[in-house]
Amino acid sequence: MDTHAVSRSMVGIRTIIPDDAFTAHSLGTVREGSGVVIGEDGLVLTIGYLITEAEEVWITRADGKVVAGHALAYDQETGLGLVRALGALDSPALLLGDAVNARVGDPVIFADGFGRSLETKIVAKREFAGYWEYLLNEAIFVAPAHPSWGGAAVVGQDGRLLGIGSLKLVMSRNGTSSDINMVVPINLLPPILDDLLARGKVNKPARPWLGAFAAESNGDVVVMSVAADGPAARAGLRGGDIIAEVRDGEIAGLADFYRQVWKSGPAGSEIPVRILRDGREAWLRVKSADRDSFLKKPQLQ
């Protein structure tokens, strides 16, 4: 694989987010990461949290020149984001690959927008549930981990893009722990790309969002915290609550919790949940919302 060719398609991304943005406290007001050029017209693919609520986007080319950019779209379901450069990038577009046929054990290159690339390999392909009401049916996990993973590109031996770096996690195996990266598979992009380019979002009803940050512990779904003034907070959900049922069904882990919430109807649906708090149970009725309605919309620079 020609790692130099891959690096020519990579860019650095720096964004400025208003102090009063909904995600300012959790994600910061200055965010830095990478992106990969996927269109000769200056279209850049990145991880969405870098550009959420951004009022300024700056793109650093492979030659170090900085050009302004515009946050086109952030898809909540996949976690992918799109940026349009407002100046010439002079970077070749990286072709999209096929993450479905990528196999555990396959060697890949993990390249960021700052000239760093890492030879790594796929160590797992499995479901991933994130605490922020996020679920991938089959995420890609690679090791060793890249130190600058956010928005970086995972590229197969054929030089095609397999996914976008999202997180660094810890994998425990045989009594030892090691860092791995979770990668969003590129196959999630083509079905939604036209909608994102035309409308800034996917043309379907928004999922119900509760604003509950939860984790799985021994099979229980435990609330760690709730978004200020979000649906869960308004309904009285608190950190430490254990969510036991959604409507009439018990839940089996974090992924199952999300699926039951999402099948309850579109954003705005009222969702009854049974909780356990201090050894007692109670029912709360959470009027869900569209998460995007809490976020500032991108502004063209």
Of the candidates 42, 64, 93, which is a domain's last residue? 93
Question: Would residue 98 count as lying in a domain?
Answer: no
Contacts of 145 (CB under 8 A, 6+ apart): 120, 168, 178, 179, 180, 181
CATH at 24: 2.40.10.10
* pLDDT recorded at residue 297: 83
Question: Would residue 150 count as lying in a domain?
Answer: yes
Local confidence pLDDT in tens for the 301 residues of the chain: 677 778 999 999 999 999 999 999 999 999 999 999 999 899 999 999 999 999 999 999 999 999 999 999 999 999 999 999 999 999 999 999 999 999 999 999 999 999 999 999 999 999 999 999 999 999 999 999 999 999 999 999 999 999 999 999 988 777 788 899 999 999 999 999 999 999 999 999 999 999 999 999 999 999 999 999 999 999 999 999 999 999 988 999 999 999 999 999 999 999 999 999 999 999 999 999 999 999 998 765 5
Q: Which structural domain range is residue 152 located in?
A: 107-192
Question: Would residue 8 count as lying in a domain?
Answer: yes
CATH at 278: 2.30.42.10
Question: Would residue 206 count as lying in a domain?
Answer: no
Of the candidates 129, 162, 192, which is a domain's last residue? 192
* pLDDT recorded at residue 174: 73
- DSSP for the chain reads --HHHHHHTEEEEEEE--TTSTTHHHH-SEEEEEEEEEETTTEEEEEGGGTTT-SEEEEE-TTS-EEEEEEEEE-TTT-EEEEEESS----PPPPB--STT--TT-EEEEE-TTS-EEEEEEEEEEEEEETTTEEEEEEEEEESPPSS-TTPEEE-TTS-EEEEEEEEEEEEETTEEEEEEEEEEGGGSHHHHHHHHHHSS-SSPPPPB--EEEEEETTEEEEEEE-TTSHHHHHT--TT-EEEEETTEE--SHHHHHHHHHTT-STT-EEEEEEEETTEEEEEEEE-B-GGGGSPPP---
Question: Would residue 179 count as lying in a domain?
Answer: yes
Alpha helix locations (H) across 112-271? Answer: 190-199, 231-235, 254-262
* pLDDT recorded at residue 175: 73
Question: Would residue 99 count as lying in a domain?
Answer: no
Question: Would residue 144 count as lying in a domain?
Answer: yes
d(CA 149, CA 184): 11
282 and 224 assigned to the same domain: yes
The total domain count for the chain is 3
Q: Report pTM.
A: 0.95
186 and 246 assigned to the same domain: no
Contacts of 183 (CB under 8 A, 6+ apart): 139, 140, 141, 142, 154, 162, 163, 164, 165, 166
Of the candidates 41, 70, 93, which is a domain's last residue? 93
Question: Would residue 145 count as lying in a domain?
Answer: yes
234 and 283 assigned to the same domain: yes
